[in-house]
Amino acid sequence: MEAEVIRARKLDSVRILAGGIAHDFNNIMMGILGNLNLAKMFLNQPEKLEARIDEAEKAVNRAKDLTHQLLAVAKGGNPVKKTASVAEIIKESGEFVLSGSNVRLELDVAEDLWPVDVDVGQMNQVMSNLLLNARQAMPKGGTVRVEARNVVVTAEDRLPLPDGRYVFILVRDEGVGIKAEYLDRIFDPYFTTKDRGTEKGTGLGLAIVYSIMRRHGGYVNVESKEGQGTVFYLYLPASDKDVPLVEEPQKPLQKGR
């Protein structure tokens, strides 16, 4: 890309980010201010007063959540790594996000999967964000398929990763898909095609996924066709500890954005 195009693209991202934060915090401040003003009017009506204070408190909590999410994009809190199983993380997040929904989880997870050294909370967040997006992309229900297997990455694979052993995870949905012109932007903080300000879209989910994956020495990418569905690919470095012997690990799929 030409330097000028890159600069314009960065400015665009910053504009979206700044606008998103300003918009969200403004809404929250209005929520606090409005409820405090009403509270003053209800000083002699304890029940109404309490209801207003409760609402103001909720708004403050929303601000707290938002700050946590933004920090997760920026630096993500110190990852507290331990040796863990990707299979467990997938199952736990699947239950958390999809139970009670009309979206079915189909699993194809290799039994001899190498363990990974990860912050389990952060990796749960990665999987939950991807599964939540898949669920929202299939409002009429459907199947989300998650595969996981061992791969050895080499320079030939042209991935932005050092050579080595990785656990490869694929999350495929049969939802609405992503417009080609959006594919470059979906990992940008505050990029969303969903209603902002509702529970539905913050535009921070994939920015958090990207940030956490990079901090774990991993990689995430996407392929999608509008109207057909979306696939996210993730690579996580395998742990050096407790590696079960695997004779011939499969090659990773060829990726590239």
Q: Nearest distance from residue 178's CB to ligand ADP, in Å? A: 5
Q: Nearest distance from residue 231's CB to ligand ADP, in Å? A: 9
Residue, CB closest to ligand ADP: 205
Q: Nearest distance from residue 107's CB to ligand ADP, in Å? A: 17
Residue 146, judged by CB atoms within 10 A of its CB (0-12, 13-18, 19+), counts as buried
Q: Nearest distance from residue 206's CB to ligand ADP, in Å? A: 3
- Beta strands (DSSP E) in the chain are 82-84, 103-109, 116-118, 142-153, 164-173, 219-225, 229-237
Please report, as ranges, the residues that interact with ligand ADP according to CB under 6 A: 129, 133-134, 137, 173, 175-178, 186, 191-194, 201-207, 230
Taking Cα atoms as reference points, which of 22, 24, 26, 49 lies closest to residue 37?
Answer: 49
Q: Nearest distance from residue 241's CB to ligand ADP, in Å? A: 32
Are 87 and 124 spatial neighbours (Cβ–Cβ below 8 Å)?
no
**What's the rounded Cα separation, in Å, for the pair 24 and 61?**
13
Q: Nearest distance from residue 65's CB to ligand ADP, in Å? A: 13
Pick the closer one to ligand ADP by CB: 135 or 149: 135
Taking Cα atoms as reference points, which of 136, 156, 133 lies closest to residue 210?
Answer: 133
Pick the closer one to ligand ADP by CB: 150 or 192: 192
Pick the closer one to ligand ADP by CB: 77 or 142: 142
Pick the closer one to ligand ADP by CB: 86 or 134: 134
Pick the closer one to ligand ADP by CB: 114 or 233: 233
**What's the rounded Cα separation, in Å, for the pair 141 and 98?**
10
Pick the closer one to ligand ADP by CB: 175 or 237: 175
Q: Is the dihedral of CA 20, 21, 26, 28 positive or negative?
A: positive
Chain-centre distance for alpha carbon 166:
20
